[in-house]
Structure 1
Amino acid sequence: MSLLSARNLSRSYDRAPLLGRGRPHRVLDGVSLDIAPGETVALLGRSGCGKTTLARMLVGLDRPDAGEVLFEGQSLARLPKARWQDLRRTVQMVFQDPVGAVDPRATVGDVLAEPLRNLCGLSPAEIRLRIAELLSAVELGPEAVGRYPHQMSGGQLQRVCIARALAPQPRLVILDEAVSNLDVHLQIRMLELFAELRRARGVSYLFVTHDLRLVERFCSRVLVMDTGRIAEDAPAALALRSPAGRALQEAVLPAWPLAGRLPPVGDLCDPSALADRRQIAR
């Protein structure tokens, strides 16, 4: 059984023109997908194709106009309150904008403690220990605990958001451009961390991106989105065939530096071997 599934999701938003009445803009149009336990899937597409809207629906932060999201075979629309706690603990998301994803009045320690307290029920001593482990995992020192978001760089804050997503030991992490603002060294380290969690605990990932270099290094399967639809579902190691996929492959991208430091994609990812974010933390 799939860990998380989407069935024929559609979503439109009203436009607000300067004059007159605008037509609804369809962002998703009959999208279906499945993510199996231990699988690493890329959701690839140009900016504005609906990737982030789909990701928000998968974690219950937005509702479709039609279709449904299934968590372990059960529709989110009919999910009992007790099961929502399971969903929050099992499925975590790292948002594209780290600044907007955290409370500016909270310290890093507070940000990381929230899911540990609300989703895991740890004691204060256990929370302090787990926070130290999480900061070390994302290569931040213990001094970061007392810092506020404005005292950190964008890359540091993104690593805090990654640590927060990993805090309740989820089984699926949705990464929405989660490493795009990190330097090359940290991108490699975070991918190695994600791969180790997949190997050790069978963690699944939905890697939302437009960067084919990361897809080739990290993912075993790729979904190509175009104008609100899934245009292609293919193994990441193969050449994409859809027009949208070929357009992305043919885009001019710089070579991936330090490529030799990462193992091949098969070794990494073979599936066989502010208010929104706080809502997930609760």
Structure 2
Amino acid sequence: MSLLSARNVSRIYRRVSLVGASKPTLVLNDISLDIAHGETVALLGRSGCGKSTLARLLLGLERPDSGEILFEGRSLVSLPKAEMPGFRRAVQMVFQDSVGAVDPRATIGTIVAEPLRHLLGLDGEALRARVADLLDKVGLDPRDAGKLPAQMSGGQLQRVCLARAFAPEPKLIVLDEAVSNLDLHLQIQMIALFERLREETGTAYLFVTHDIRLVERFCTRVLVMDEGRMVEEAPVTRPLALQSPAGRALREAVLPAYPRRIMPA
């Protein structure tokens, strides 16, 4: 059984202004996909092709206009309200904008503790110990729990967001362009961290990106989107061999390979 699936999903956006409603825009058109337990899948496509919209549907943040999203074989629409916290615990997300994803007035410890309180019911010393452990796992000092986001670098703050995502011990983490705002060195460090945590926990990833270099380093299977459609599915090879026009265009536009001297062993 797949962990998370989409079946013939379509999504239409309608904009309403003072002059009336605009023409409906078909953002996703008959999308189907499956993500297995422990799998690392890339969702590859140029900006504006519908990747982030699909990610929001998979997380239950939006509903499709047709088709359905299935979690372990059950439609999200039919999940009883009492079971939704279990889904929220099992499927987490790390966003591209780490600064915008956290409360600037909250301490790092409070940010990481949020899902531990609301999804696991931890408090007191057990909560503080778990926060310290999570910060340590993502390569931060447990003493960073007392800092504010403004006191952290961009790379450190993205690690905070990853610690928060791992806090409820999810089965799947959606990484929505989660390293695209980081420089080359930090991208390499974060990819290595994702892989280490996957090996330790068995967590699956959906890696939403437009960067083929990162797909080649991190993922085992790639799905290519173009203009709201799924146009190709392929195993990840080095170099990545894509056959669809959209895939070939991304291949031709790819940035230079990582310099060998800074590639991790």
Q: 1:173 to 1:252 in 2, by over 3 A?
A: closer
1:121 correspondence with 2:137: no
Q: Secondary structure at 1:191's aligned position in 2? A: helix
Partner of 2:40: 40
Partner of 1:211: 211
Q: 1:109 to 1:260 in 2, by over 3 A?
A: closer
Q: Secondary structure at 1:156's aligned position in 2? A: helix
Once the two structures are TM-superposed, the CA of residue 194 in structure 1 deviates from its matched residue by 2.1
Is the deviation greater in 112-121 or in 63-72? Answer: 112-121
Partner of 2:61: 61
Q: Secondary structure at 1:119's aligned position in 2? A: helix
Distance in 2 between residues matched to 1:52 and 1:234, nearest whole Å = 20
Once the two structures are TM-superposed, the CA of residue 15 in structure 1 deviates from its matched residue by 3.6
CA deviation digits over 1:144-202, x for unaligned, max 9?
21222233333322221111101111111100011222333332332223222322332
Distance in 2 between residues matched to 1:56 and 1:32, nearest whole Å = 15
The percent identity for this pair of structures is 66
1:77 correspondence with 2:77: yes
Distance in 1 between residues matched to 2:183 and 2:137, nearest whole Å = 16
Once the two structures are TM-superposed, the CA of residue 261 in structure 1 deviates from its matched residue by 4.0
Is the deviation greater in 65-74 or in 13-22? Answer: 13-22
Once the two structures are TM-superposed, the CA of residue 260 in structure 1 deviates from its matched residue by 7.2
Is the deviation greater in 187-196 or in 240-249? Answer: 187-196
Partner of 1:256: 258
Once the two structures are TM-superposed, the CA of residue 20 in structure 1 deviates from its matched residue by 6.0
Correspondence 1:111-190 to 2 at 5 A: 111-190=111-190
Q: Any conservation in 2 of the 1:44–1:223 contact (CA below 8 Å)?
A: yes
Q: 1:252 to 1:43 in 2, by over 3 A?
A: closer
Distance in 2 between residues matched to 1:68 and 1:105, nearest whole Å = 38
Once the two structures are TM-superposed, the CA of residue 258 in structure 1 deviates from its matched residue by 4.1
Partner of 1:234: 234
Distance in 2 between residues matched to 1:188 and 1:251, nearest whole Å = 20
Count of aligned positions: 263
Paired amino acid for 1:193: L
1:5 correspondence with 2:5: yes
Q: Secondary structure at 2:120's aligned position in 1? A: coil
Distance in 2 between residues matched to 1:124 and 1:261, nearest whole Å = 41
Partner of 1:246: 248
Once the two structures are TM-superposed, the CA of residue 21 in structure 1 deviates from its matched residue by 4.4
Q: Any conservation in 2 of the 1:138–1:190 contact (CA below 8 Å)?
A: no
Q: 1:17 to 1:117 in 2, by over 3 A?
A: closer
Q: Any conservation in 1 of the 2:95–2:101 contact (CA below 8 Å)?
A: yes
Distance in 2 between residues matched to 1:259 and 1:194, nearest whole Å = 21
Distance in 2 between residues matched to 1:81 and 1:205, nearest whole Å = 25
Distance in 2 between residues matched to 1:74 and 1:21, nearest whole Å = 35
Is the deviation greater in 9-18 or in 43-52? Answer: 9-18
Give TM-score scaled by structure 2 length: 0.92
Unaligned runs of 5+ in 2: none
Is the deviation greater in 112-121 or in 72-81? Answer: 112-121
Once the two structures are TM-superposed, the CA of residue 256 in structure 1 deviates from its matched residue by 1.1
Q: 1:82 to 1:20 in 2, by over 3 A?
A: closer
Pairwise CA RMSD: 1.9
Give TM-score scaled by structure 1 length: 0.87
Once the two structures are TM-superposed, the CA of residue 100 in structure 1 deviates from its matched residue by 2.2
Q: Any conservation in 2 of the 1:109–1:145 contact (CA below 8 Å)?
A: yes
Distance in 2 between residues matched to 1:240 and 1:121, nearest whole Å = 46
CA deviation digits over 1:221-264, x for unaligned, max 9?
0000001111101111141000000000000412213477446x
Q: 1:20 to 1:67 in 2, by over 3 A?
A: same
Partner of 1:280: none
Q: 1:32 to 1:197 in 2, by over 3 A?
A: same
